[in-house]
């Protein structure tokens, strides 16, 4: 029979080595991405295909950002990520993919010219936010919502400096934004000023102009 002390020692040993793995991922990310400032992190569904309106819009946004001196950071996978990386790469821009190791392996898209792979989601999240001067959020699922609300929370709580958080897709986000205003705000769970943390813009050209007004490239 395995003793309780043995189990505690085993967990402690594994956690100690896990810390070195975590530190190594942070060091690799910091060293690799420091030279690519300023960049913009773009999020959205991995399930959209080339020819889809969302895909085409993400590609155009990536292109315009690159043409205006911004690096484009995505999760490095398919869908919106692929489209944004493609737009940046095709004009010779910095197209950065932060891939994540998953049980169902996410295949890196072919349009990233700077590639990093992460085991830990939270390390990858730090890289998205640390090296971004803006977040662009296109229609997506739980992962996209996670990145959106994490950025809003960090700005709201003054853990990071404010930067543009731009939602793309009026129809897609309408229900969520209505609920935030009609329920969350009315019940006093947030303040009116919190609604100013993010904005809704549909046109790629206006998105890039808005970021440029805030950031000096």
**CATH number of the domain encompassing residue 110:** 3.40.50.450
- Map residue 3 onto helix, strand or coil: coil
Q: Is residue 187 part of a domain?
A: yes
CA atoms within 13 A on the CB side of 113: 14
Q: What is the pTM assigned to this prediction?
A: 0.90
Nearest to 113 by CA among 24, 8, 3, 36: 36
Domain span at residue 189 reads: 41-214
Q: Is residue 95 part of a domain?
A: yes
Q: In what order do the strands lie in the sheet containing 95-100?
A: 114-118, 95-100, 71-74, 39-43, 132-137, 165-167, 198-200
* Structure confidence by residue, pLDDT tens digits, 119-130: 999 999 999 999
Q: Is residue 19 part of a domain?
A: no
Nearest to 111 by CA among 94, 127, 123, 124: 94
Q: What percent of the chain has pLDDT over 70?
A: 90
Q: Is residue 121 part of a domain?
A: yes
Tally of domains in the chain: 1
Q: Is residue 188 part of a domain?
A: yes
* Structure confidence by residue, pLDDT tens digits, 63-75: 999 999 999 999 9
Q: Is residue 175 part of a domain?
A: yes
């Amino acid at each position: 029979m395995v003793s309780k002390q043995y189990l505690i020692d085993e967990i402690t040993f594994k956690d100690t080595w896990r810390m070195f793995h975590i530190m190594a991922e942070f060091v690799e990310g910091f060293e690799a991405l420091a030279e690519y400032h300023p960049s913009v992190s773009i999020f959205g569904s991995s399930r959209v295909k080339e020819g889809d309106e969302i895909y085409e819009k993400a590609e155009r946004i990536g292109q315009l950002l690159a043409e205006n001196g911004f690096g484009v950071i995505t999760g490095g996978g398919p869908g919106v990520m692929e489209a944004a990386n493609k737009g940046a790469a095709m004009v010779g821009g910095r197209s950065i993919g932060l891939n994540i190791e998953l049980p169902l392996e996410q295949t890196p898209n072919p349009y990233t010219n700077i590639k990093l792979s992460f085991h830990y989601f939270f390390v990858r999240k730090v890289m998205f936010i640390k090296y971004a001067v803006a977040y662009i959020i296109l229609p997506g699922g739980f992962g996209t919502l996670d990145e959106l609300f994490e950025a809003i929370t960090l700005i709201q709580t003054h853990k990071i400096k404010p930067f543009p958080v731009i939602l793309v897709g009026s129809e897609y986000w309408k229900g969520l934004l209505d609920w935030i205003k009609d329920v969350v705000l009315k019940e006093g769970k947030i303040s009116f000023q919190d609604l100013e943390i993010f904005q809704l813009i549909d046109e790629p050209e206006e998105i890039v102009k808005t970021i440029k007004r805030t950031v000096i490239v």
